[in-house]
Structure 1
Amino acid sequence: MPTPQRNHLYKLMVVGDTGVGKTTFSSVIRILHPEEWNVDLISYKVSEIVINLNGEQIKLIICDMSSEENDRSIRSSFYNAVDGIFILYDSTNRKSFQ
């Protein structure tokens, strides 16, 4: 499989309060793409998947970040390097959206 060009490589981050489903969201992606690689680190999980969109290979690198307060510096360093963010919240808990 040819390596996608930079404009076909997208770094995405999953953010949200504790308990809103960030890891569940990332786990579903892992289940749907089990052949791709996944890395579990202390403060975050990284999944890389390749999808075919209109005949072109698109590589997505998805980071599921910890929402712990002490991991804030790690999280902020990722913000500058991402192309998109999934913001997850609990629709039954208004505070999780603030």
Structure 2
Amino acid sequence: MADSDAGPMLRRYDTLVKMMFLGDSGVGKTCLMSSYAGQPVSDSHISTIGIDFKMHTVDIDGHIARIQMWDTAGQERFHTLCTQYYRRAEGVMLVFDITNEESFRNVRMWLQSVEDHAPQDVCQVLIGNKSDLDGNRRVRKTDASALAEEFGITYFETSAKLTTNNNMSEAMELLIRQILEKKGVFNDEANKDEHTASIRLDENPASTQSTQSSYCSC
């Protein structure tokens, strides 16, 4: 999967994919998004307030997908605000911190929130973040894998600090492929012309504009 995020604002793409990152505050959602989008990753911990988003373009087997990544606040006081975005999500990255057992226990709460508010067929992936801190691990891989298997989703361990073998590209590609397959991109050639219609990047819904741009703990 080749990244293709450079170019003018009028760059064309085939499909817009809307993806949410969910999880407790401080698990590293913002850092993962920044790392994946090729943006600087900060060591400071400034929690996201409300909803922020980042954009990134990828090439999946010649199909250009523009990924709109929604960065949600993990604090409880913002949950009501964030749930209004669930119903428009096509994919969900459920993130916990492998060094924080409570963030893993709360994954069930986030899963329940997805079930309550997101489309019934939304694609999901479970992410155990901060794999670079394996020496401080508090969540066993077997436990995380078992939880993912229970809910029929795939588990990856990632790190925004690692520049290679961080599994983020693999996790994102899997989720994007699942979404594109549901859209019929790979198995419905009759819709190809519709998918490849020119789309201007400045036509994104206004409701997805960020409330505050910030970084969180990696």
| 2:83 is equivalent to residue 83 of structure 1 | no
Cα deviation 1:1-44 (Å, max 9, x = unaligned): 4342xxx2211011111111111112212325xxxxxxxx8422
Structure 1 stretches (4+) deviating beyond 3 angstroms? none
Q: Distance in 1 between matches of 2:81 and 2:66?
A: 23
Cα deviation 1:44-83 (Å, max 9, x = unaligned): 2211111111111111100111112221112111111101
**Structure 1 residues 3 and 27: CA distance shift in structure 2, 3 A:** closer
Higher relative contact order (CA 8 A, sep 6+): 1
| 2:40 is equivalent to residue 30 of structure 1 | no
| Greater helix fraction, Structure 1 or Structure 2 | 2
TM-score (ref. length: structure 2): 0.37
Give secondary structure in 1 for the equivalent of 2:25. coil
| 2:47 is equivalent to residue 46 of structure 1 | no
Aligned residues: 87
Identity value in percent: 25
| 2:117 is equivalent to residue 71 of structure 1 | no
Q: Distance in 2 between matches of 1:87 and 1:58?
A: 21
Max Rg structure: 2
TM-score (ref. length: structure 1): 0.77
**Structure 1 residues 92 and 3: CA distance shift in structure 2, 3 A:** closer
Q: Distance in 1 between matches of 2:49 and 2:27?
A: 19
Aligned-residue CA RMSD in angstroms?
Answer: 1.8
